Structure 1
Amino acid sequence: MREQGLRARSYRIYMKMAKLHRFYQSIKNIKKDTPKPTAVNQQWSGDLTYIRQGKRWMYLAVVIDLYSRKVVGWSLGSKKSTQLTMSSLRMGIRNRKPQERLLFHTDRGSEYRAHEVQALLSKNGIVPSMNRPGHCTDNAEVESFFHTLKGDMIRKNSFKSEKQLRDKLVGYIQHFYNRYRLHSSLGYRSPHEYEVMTG
């Protein structure tokens, strides 16, 4: 190329990446400066964790209502992907039908920063909020749920198939955790009981 006087023009790619980086950095931690929710569907939080199934890892994405700690959406898959996080978010939207200006807080993982996820939030009038860089405790409520899930269910069981794991998660999340698992932060009530009592 040098002999022919040609040059590779790579600056356009750099400019696109720079703009993308600025977009990601522009998503602030709105949750940090927002009062605690006083009703359902004011603030949600989402995150991912991994669970061993046989000789492989499966990934669980959840969406939690921060008012009641209720799991309003979840999705299980073999890949840590944007589609997984979108599936859990779609379940929450379908189940709860939130009004506009709902705050959705996550970490800064690419599975939440992706254009498709941000477009889904925008389409439904949901406001994105993300952890400050290096501050994993900004999403403590979901981390607390994962700790509870693993203590109650995951460490006590081995899962021979994806179906077995999925069935166990349905039973734990939708029937036990949401309806019967007591929380000290809710006055020792379950998420379902707390929503009924305060609704």
Structure 2
Amino acid sequence: MTYIETDQGWFYLAAVMDLYSRRIVGRAMADHLRADLPLAALRMANSAQRLGAGLIRHYDRGVQYASADYRTLMQSVGLRASMGRKGKCYDNAPMESFFHALKTELVHDRHYATRAEATRDIFAYIEAFYNRNSSPSALSARSRWS
């Protein structure tokens, strides 16, 4: 999960990446960091991709991912859990790379008066730009999104 500043206060984004395609297949945005935020992103990923038994879901050590509801959904879908090791930032490097790209290519150049403005921009960035250019070779050669 990452955060975005708006005049209305902090705004949070949870995302699920398919590591094979490097596409964001699930996302959720809210004004809180409660467990239902990453749960909504995982539900979206499952609806979009029909996640299957045996797939591995990697996540960081955030308390939201350890919630009973999150673990129950993972179990019902058949996902295997992979939690990052304490102090090992590289375990979650693909997601951190996405969040860095989002912030440097979009968020840091914008001023958001409302969370609704941030939602529209982030949705457009993910769906119209990032997911269409998300292969590793495309990302290394891409130009700045604006």
TM-score, normalised to structure 1, is 0.67
2:105 corresponds to 1:159 = no
Q: Equivalents in 2 of 1:129, 1:183: separation in Å?
A: 22
Please say which structure displays the higher CA radius of gyration: 1
Q: Equivalents in 2 of 1:94, 1:176: separation in Å?
A: 21
Conservation of the 8 A alpha-carbon contact between 1:53 and 1:159? yes
Aligned-partner residue type, residue 61 of structure 1: A
Q: Equivalents in 1 of 2:58, 2:40: separation in Å?
A: 16
Conservation of the 8 A alpha-carbon contact between 1:182 and 1:188? no
User: Could you say which residue in structure 2 is the equivalent of 1:129?
Assistant: 82
- Number of residue pairs aligned between Structure 1 and Structure 2: 142
Q: Equivalents in 1 of 2:24, 2:63: separation in Å?
A: 22
Quote the offset at 1:69 in angstroms: 0.9
Aligned-partner residue type, residue 90 of structure 2: T
Q: CA RMSD in A?
A: 1.8
Give secondary structure in 2 for the equivalent of 1:133: coil
Conservation of the 8 A alpha-carbon contact between 1:50 and 1:57? yes
Quote the offset at 1:180 in angstroms: 3.2
User: Could you say which residue in structure 2 is the equivalent of 1:108?
Assistant: 61
Unaligned runs of 5+ in 2: none
Q: Pick 1 or 2: higher relative contact order, CA cutoff 8 A, min separation 6.
A: 2
TM-score, normalised to structure 2, is 0.91
Map 1:111-190 → 2, pairs under 5 A: 111-180=64-133, 183-184=136-137
Q: Equivalents in 2 of 1:102, 1:188: separation in Å?
A: 29
| Structure 1 moving runs of 4+ over 2 Å | 180-189
Q: Equivalents in 2 of 1:118, 1:182: separation in Å?
A: 29
